[in-house]
Amino acid sequence: MSENRLTLLAVSDLHYTGLARQTDQTQHMRGELARALLKKVFLRLRHMGIKPDATLVLGDLVEDSADRNAPLDMVSLHGELLRSGIPFLVVPGNHDGDPATFNALFGSEPGLHKIGGYGFMLFNDHYNENRECIRATADLAALKKCAADHPDLPLVAVQHPPIYPPIDSHYPYRPTNAAEIIDAYQKSGVILSLSGHYHKGQKARVHERILYHTVPALCEPPFRFSLIHLVDSRVEIEDLCLGLQVPNIIDVHCHTEHAYCGTTADTAPCVALSQALGVSTLCITEHAFQLYFDKPNAMGFRWQSDPSMVKAVWETPERGRMAAYRQFAAKLRSPFVKIGLELDLLDDGNLLLAPEDLDFDWDIAIGAIHVIPGFVPGRTSQQEAERLFLRDVERLLERDIDVLAHPFRFFTFNHLKVPSHLFATLAGLLADSGVATEVNFHAYQPETAFIRMCAEKGVKIALASDAHDLAEAGEFWPHVNALRQAGITPKMFPDTLFTFKNTIATP
């Protein structure tokens, strides 16, 4: 006999303040980041290889439904749910305003919704002027009728207020008729009750054969959410969080609105998000070639082999947008933010860096290979590509760089085989030069064997979000996981990871 299986993502209490005016939220509430945090939840699950069957959002999506822009903030959150490609059910909270208007947007009417052999009973509980909540008698009757009409359907109750256990607080978190609700759940065969509202959350607890779980607020550190695994009537709950669980993580590589290749990279929220998630230092490192040239010329890479093109830009006072970026970056620099460049090679083996910019006080320089002169996609052989790659790596390592970006990504981007036989060679070159290797998950899957080999040779490991999208900022779960797979535990991080005290001089 086959089993019913379902994996659910549950998030609650976003208290989003996007277009709506900022409120007097307590300092630890980060409602202004809530949309990005929701997007990051979906990114984290993709990194974990998990695609839930459904997402449940348990209320308080916005902070103040009375604000004239709150409906637009709800539309923004609805958009993130749509973009995830995962079916979703949403219940309103006490901050979300009129339930009918809310449900019209999210399409989650109260009552029964069937997903994958389970029934989800959604409740729209109402709050009075004293912030007290009571479950309507009609809603309890509807639950009992649903159970009678579908006796073999496992039921999950979904609501904003916690039902069980009691909460010792002057604030009325639970419905005033919680005991009556519990009795109805028992008589209706509910197997799981999911709630939000209480920001601290409550660990899953069984009471009279029903599992009750209160999902913590996504808007408060460490930005928690829950994964729920259902197998027939069995329930397993996994609590996860977006906040970093290891200290002293330096993000050596984050892009800005100056990047042509950026999507939603935006420096201000990247800084705020990275800091909130626990990154210790954020390095803003923009593509030099995208700063010197306009977009068509930059992305065409003709500048690599055309000295006149480079000379023409370098002879102008602004050097494309480089002077403006320097001013921008200098204003950003702080104890938390360091500034630098991602640098490519010219065909003659020199870095694309004007003399005036070489003298600027950069904190970090990252060397990268994006395009290799002489390589023709689809025509150049694997063997020749490997020779050209090693030639340019050696040239890069002769320059004043601190980190080698996404070491073997050139091969995957050009649909070539990653040359694992070069791992030892490159690790040796990095060790000899004192340059760190980068672990980077932006459109790339770092090679565990290469990471392990670098660590064994004493090469420092630099962690990089390489954020082109805001959701990538501060996301280091896959990096820590990759290091663990390479045998590098968090206890080893102080001796293994890149820090500024261990680098060679920057340009």
- Domain end call among 222, 241, 260: 241
Quick check: helix, strand or coil at residue 146? helix
pLDDT at 504 over 70: no
Q: How would you class 327 by CB atoms within 10 Å of its CB: exposed for 0-12, middle for 13-18, buried for 19 or more?
A: exposed
Burial of 67-91, coded b for 16+ CB within 10 Å and e otherwise, reads beebbebbebbbebbeebebebbbb
**What average pLDDT does the structure give for the chain?**
95
Over the stretch 195-215, which tens digit does the pLDDT of each residue have?
999 999 999 999 999 999 999
CATH number of the domain residue 129 falls in: 3.60.21.10
Query: What is the tally of structural domains in the chain?
Result: 2
Cα–Cα dist 143/185, whole Å: 8
pLDDT at 152: 93
Query: 333 with 362, same domain?
Result: yes
The residue-averaged pLDDT of 99-128 equals: 95
Please give the residue range of the domain that contains residue 55: 5-241
Over the stretch 265-275, which tens digit does the pLDDT of each residue have?
899 999 999 99
- Which pLDDT band, with edges at 50, 70 and 90, does 263 fall under? confident
Work out the percent of the chain whose per-residue pLDDT is above 90: 94
- Which pLDDT band, with edges at 50, 70 and 90, does 298 fall under? very high
Q: What are φ and ψ of residue 291, in 5° steps?
A: -85, -35
Query: 213 with 296, same domain?
Result: no
Query: 320 with 235, same domain?
Result: no
pLDDT at 337 over 90: yes
Q: Where are the alpha helices (DSSP H) in 12-92?
A: 34-47, 70-83
pLDDT at 302 over 80: yes
The residue-averaged pLDDT of 27-55 equals: 96
pLDDT at 28: 85
Query: 92 with 148, same domain?
Result: yes
The residue-averaged pLDDT of 87-111 equals: 96
- Domain end call among 241, 258, 279: 241
pLDDT at 369: 97
- Which pLDDT band, with edges at 50, 70 and 90, does 417 fall under? very high
Cα–Cα dist 48/481, whole Å: 9
- Domain end call among 241, 273, 292: 241
Cα–Cα dist 373/303, whole Å: 10
Q: What are the Cα distances from residue 287, in Å, to 49, 369, 388, 415, 473? A: 30, 11, 22, 23, 17
pLDDT at 22: 75
Residue 507: inside a domain, yes or no? no
- Which pLDDT band, with edges at 50, 70 and 90, does 501 fall under? low
pLDDT at 181 over 90: yes
Over the stretch 446-490, which tens digit does the pLDDT of each residue have?
999 999 999 999 999 999 999 999 999 999 999 999 999 999 999
The residue-averaged pLDDT of 57-73 equals: 96
